[in-house]
Amino acid sequence: MNLYWLIVIAAVLTVFFFWLFLRSLRRRRVIGSGLNFLMTALFATATALTLAITLHLYTYSRLTAEQPVAQVQIEQLAPQRFNVTMHVPEKKPRNFVIEGDEWQLDARVLKWHGWAQLLGLDAQYRLDRISGRYRDISQARSRPPSVHALAYDSGPLDLWELAQSKPKWLPWVDAEYGSATFLPMRDAAKFQVMMTQSGLLARPANAAASEAVSGW
């Protein structure tokens, strides 16, 4: 069973109790009408909440094993200034101007506890941001960082934020897992970024990237 079946079951029960409510109302059964209306409202709320959670999870991708999540291609524009092109599966390439010596990719990972695992929910991830880093600490302190958001709008319900602010409300969500990887920037370098069960992992994908990492 998964969230889709929960939506279907809750919706069917909503319709069923609403039908009972209308029948009791026609027969002028006050107690029965009130009880059926209460059950209708309860299952309608459960349907809406489950649907909101499902739609929110669409902003994440399932993590079942190590899998490629992005390819990063770098073009130098000036000293410590680079154009970074990100290729994400099934999405249009995006370009970012990043300043610094290194690029960093951050992601959010949702993992589950208890009954959520029994429902077959896999761990899920969402790329969060890409940014630049300076090797020299004094530069990092004196220059504003280049930070670009990658995540799509999560809608009115954000499980990550809710689990962080109200952990007792969602004991079956483990949202305290953020992951990041960073590597040096060099002209013509290309990197492959993987998501593993332990987090993000970036590997050189061409000679320029390998040279950058070897002398890092």
Is residue 19 located within the same domain as residue 102?
no
Q: In sequence order, which residues have a C-beta less than 8 Å from that of residue 83 and are 6 or more positions away?
A: 74, 75, 76, 77, 95, 96, 97, 98
Is residue 149 located within the same domain as residue 170?
yes
Count: domains in the chain: 2
Is residue 53 located within the same domain as residue 83?
no
Q: Which of left, alpha, beta for 160 (phi over 0: left; psi -120 to 50: alpha)?
A: alpha
Is the predicted pLDDT of residue 178 greater than 90, yes or no? no
Is residue 20 located within the same domain as residue 76?
no
Is residue 48 located within the same domain as residue 73?
no
Is residue 23 located within the same domain as residue 68?
no
Choose the final residue of a domain: 19, 42, 57.
57
Is residue 53 located within the same domain as residue 69?
no
- Residue 192 sits in which domain range? 61-214
Is residue 12 located within the same domain as residue 98?
no
What's the average model confidence in pLDDT over 159-180? 66
Is residue 121 located within the same domain as residue 70?
yes
For the question of whether the overall pTM of this predicted structure is more than 0.85, the answer is: no
> 77 phi and psi, to 5 degrees?
-105, -35
pLDDT number for residue 157: 55
pLDDT number for residue 30: 56
pLDDT digits over 70-100, tens only? Answer: 999 999 999 999 999 999 988 899 999 999 9
Is residue 83 located within the same domain as residue 26?
no
Question: How crowded is residue 10: how many other Cβ atoms within 10 Å of its Cβ?
Answer: 19
Is residue 134 located within the same domain as residue 193?
yes
pLDDT digits over 103-128, tens only? Answer: 999 988 877 665 555 455 666 778 88
Choose the final residue of a domain: 40, 57, 74.
57
